[in-house]
Chain A
Amino acid sequence: MTTPRTSRSGRAGQYVALLCYLVFLAFPFLWLISTAFKPPRELGSLHPTWIPDDPTLDNFRQAFDEQPLLRAAGNSLIAALSAALIAVVIATPMAYVMARNRNKLSAAATGWVVVSQAFPFVLVIIPLFLILKNLHLINTLSGLIMVYVVWSLPFALWMLGGYVRAVPRELEEAASVDGAGRLRTLVSVTAPLLAPGIVATALFAFITAWNEFFFALVLLKTPQTQTLPVVLTHFLGAEGVADLGPLAAAAFLATIPSLVIFAIIQKRITGGMLTGAVKS
């Protein structure tokens, strides 16, 4: 049994650990913001400062002048939102079936889903490229969205499966007793309880697609269709040389949509999943 004193010191240690972790997580982002506002001469300083001595918006101006950032951001947004939406629409009923019907088929399917996560991109990119080419989907956002959906589905299924298993069967049985059919039960009873899981899965699919680089690099050929991660690499030269200021400015802008979307929906994720689901 722990004494209150030990408990207090233990809790203090936990807070310190948490603080260290938060600082660790925040450091790259804060440094990115700092760099985005620094003039070139401060970027080459031996004694860099957090707050720029002579803050400037020139990096942002240059980034927008040099590259079609807004168009690229629009493309990324379309690709990521579509991929997230389609992934959860497909994954929700699939996850339900796999979680509720535990048989050899669903076990095999789950196994395949897990294995598919281990495929490296380079292994699938050429067959994928040829398939999309035959479908005339190279250099289209539709083709890219299809790839993103397929790529995020396994993890979405695995993630949603856990949420489905957490929904008590008794609720569905009660709905059945009240006369609801299978689909009605899924839509009216299970889906609302799954809402936080669905939102979390959608967010995962969104972030995955928003950050994805390699498929976009290979599948999109023209500036009109390129996404933000691809356009960001245009600030890089050979041997890792970078136009650091504009790159930081563009990268900072690229993080904003993710942050905004996360801020908007985070309550849906953290809200009690089954609060009030069962009458006491």
Chain B
Amino acid sequence: MRRLAAAAAVCALLLTGCSADGGGADSGRITLRFQSLAWQQESVDANKELVKEWNTSHPDIRVEYVQGSWDSVHDQLLTSFEGGEAPDIIHDASDDLADFAYGGYLADLSGLLPERLTADIPRQSWESATFGKGVYGVPFLQEPRVLIANKKILDSSGVRIPTAGKPWSWEEFRQVTKTLTEEMGEGKYGVAWPLKEPVSVTLNLGLSAGGQLFHRGDDGKVTIKFTDGDGVVPGTVHDQVNTDKSASRTTLGMGGSDTLPGFFGGKYAMVPLGFSYRQQIVQQAPKGFEWTVLPAPAGPGGPAQGVSPQTLSVAEDTPHKKEAARFIDFMLQPRNMVRLAKGDWMLPTGSKALADPALHTDEAGWSTGAALARDLRSAPAQSVRGYPEWKDKVATPALQEYYSGAIDAPELEKRLVNDGNLVLSRYQR
């Protein structure tokens, strides 16, 4: 009996001892919670430093840095919104905002942001965070998809080296990968497409060939149509893998990081990756490994491609929207945007930040990326309701089967369009 009583006492002690809230007492000043998804050391440091600078210069509006994580951020935010416990300032990606914006969880920032910031960020970037008539996030970092190439293999092959001003066409790219594969020999490939998540890659690069797939009618409803432009990128990848054998079949199911060992080992001459992967390459590449950053292939419409920028939003429930918007304005001052961009190895959206000389060096391909920035557009599908379901249930399996050669182009088109429109119609009744 005494043992039971002792155990109960221990439980009570444990519970009372660990019930501290973790938050400080409210001393009258405003406290805003800023949930950041920064995860790389340099990026976390930059965010924390900026919060510290803000707190020093704004003693009346204290900002508390809260570390979030990309993993499960949607579920975590959704629960927080439902429970009325969301952070005041929210870091996320624009392709995750649609549900929150339409659900009324995010504040419309139109009218809250200063003209300086509104004018500094190009219209096409604002489109990525505009849902209906409202603006629900400030896009501040973005990354194009680029070709990371083995410089030695490329130079020795004699192929034309593309520049941001004169990228390869999709047809030229296919020819180049064939040439490289022939020169590299057995078991090696001109390109390795990491297509574990094939939908965003296909749609975003598809813009360069005039692909759009999602078409909004006069009534505001979105339908899927498959045009010739929509077939260029998937057709190129399919043919590289199945016809030319110039792209590795095994990497189709891999994530970007998984392809790096093969790339470093000279198994692949090029890997299409997000711009921020350069950080991993700098860290992990063997000594003496020479690499370069090339623009992604372009179509008749130029090197346009879709991106889903990282955003800063304000929770609708916060009573301090103006103060939160002031903090966002501070975070995204041009010099601060540059610090954040360098920390994340990405490009800033702001025109003034983008002009910073630090982002125009040839080192690690910064200048190539910066030159691509003006051609970045809002990812085609991110404001479409029902897109996540279409992506998971229809497009991902269909594209995976097409790229592996299990189905042909007409079947791919049929699935993307017919099955896709059935999904979208449920969201647009």
Would A218 and B79 count as touching, CB distance under 8 A? Answer: yes
Nearest-CB residue, chain A, relative to B41: A66
Across-interface contacts of A86 in B (CB, < 8 A)? 11
Binary per-residue interface labels of chain A (206-225) against chain B in the complex, 1 for a CB within 8 Å, 0 otherwise: 00000001100110011111
Nearest-CB residue, chain B, relative to A240: B255
Output the least CB separation between A211 and chain B (Å). Answer: 15
Would B40 and A243 count as touching, CB distance under 8 A? Answer: yes
Would A222 and B66 count as touching, CB distance under 8 A? Answer: yes
B265 at the interface (CB under 8 A from A): yes
Binary per-residue interface labels of chain A (123-166) against chain B in the complex, 1 for a CB within 8 Å, 0 otherwise: 00110011001000111111001000000000000000000000
Output the least CB separation between B283 and chain A (Å). Answer: 4
Interface SS majority for chain A: helix
A108 at the interface (CB under 8 A from B): no
The verdict on A47 contacting B265 (CB below 8 Å), with A139-B23, A222-B66 known, is yes
Across-interface contacts of B264 in A (CB, < 8 A)? 44-46
Interface SS majority for chain B: mixed
Would A122 and B75 count as touching, CB distance under 8 A? Answer: yes
Contact of A236 among B33, B70, B75 (CB under 8 A): B70
Output the least CB separation between A48 and chain B (Å). Answer: 8
Across-interface contacts of A41 in B (CB, < 8 A)? 283-287
A234 at the interface (CB under 8 A from B): yes
**Interface 9-mer from B53-61, B82-90, B355-363, B421-429:** B82-90
Give the CA-CA distance A116 to B41 in the complex, in Å: 41
Would A221 and B286 count as touching, CB distance under 8 A? Answer: no
B162 at the interface (CB under 8 A from A): no
Across-interface contacts of A65 in B (CB, < 8 A)? 41
Interface size class, chain B = 35 or more
Give the CA-CA distance A89 to B11 in the complex, in Å: 10
Would A236 and B10 count as touching, CB distance under 8 A? Answer: no
Output the least CB separation between B6 and chain A (Å). Answer: 11
A266 at the interface (CB under 8 A from B): no
B27 at the interface (CB under 8 A from A): no
B67 at the interface (CB under 8 A from A): yes
Across-interface contacts of A81 in B (CB, < 8 A)? 14
The verdict on A237 contacting B83 (CB below 8 Å), with A62-B41, A122-B75, A243-B39 known, is no
Across-interface contacts of A85 in B (CB, < 8 A)? 7, 10-11, 14
Give the CA-CA distance A65 to B37 in the complex, in Å: 17
A260 at the interface (CB under 8 A from B): no
Could you tell me which residues of chain B, from 1 to 23, have a CB within 8 Å of some CB in chain A?
Answer: 1, 3-4, 7-8, 10-11, 14-15, 17-23
Give the CA-CA distance A187 to B287 in the complex, in Å: 67
Across-interface contacts of B40 in A (CB, < 8 A)? 237, 243
Across-interface contacts of A223 in B (CB, < 8 A)? 22, 66-67
Contact of B283 among A40, A145, A239 (CB under 8 A): A40
Give the CA-CA distance A46 to B267 in the complex, in Å: 9
Nearest-CB residue, chain B, relative to A231: B67
Across-interface contacts of A236 in B (CB, < 8 A)? 39, 69-71
The verdict on A43 contacting B284 (CB below 8 Å), with A142-B15, A183-B1, A233-B72 known, is yes
Contact of B14 among A44, A78, A137, A224 (CB under 8 A): A78
Give the CA-CA distance A213 to B15 in the complex, in Å: 20
Nearest-CB residue, chain A, relative to B194: A239
Binary per-residue interface labels of chain A (78-105) against chain B in the complex, 1 for a CB within 8 Å, 0 otherwise: 1101100110010000000000000000
Interface residues of A (CB under 8 A from B): 40-41, 43-48, 62, 65-67, 75, 78-79, 81-82, 85-86, 89, 122, 125-126, 129-130, 133, 137-142, 145, 183, 187, 213-214, 217-218, 221-226, 230, 233-244
What are the 5 A-B residue pairs with the smallest beta carbon separation, nearest first? A46-B265, A44-B284, A224-B22, A141-B18, A233-B69
Q: List 26 A-B contacts (CB under 8 A).
A: A40-B283, A44-B280, A45-B265, A47-B265, A48-B261, A62-B41, A65-B41, A82-B18, A89-B7, A125-B75, A126-B79, A129-B83, A139-B21, A139-B23, A140-B18, A140-B19, A145-B18, A187-B4, A213-B72, A221-B80, A224-B22, A225-B20, A235-B39, A237-B39, A240-B196, A243-B40
Interface residues of B (CB under 8 A from A): 1, 3-4, 7-8, 10-11, 14-15, 17-23, 33, 37, 39-41, 44, 64, 66-67, 69-72, 75-76, 79-80, 82-85, 87, 93, 196-197, 255-257, 260-262, 264-265, 267, 274, 276-277, 280, 283-287
Known: A44-B286, A240-B196, A243-B41. 16 other contacts (CB 8 A): A66-B41, A78-B14, A78-B17, A82-B15, A82-B18, A85-B11, A85-B14, A129-B82, A137-B19, A139-B85, A140-B18, A140-B22, A221-B80, A223-B22, A224-B20, A226-B67
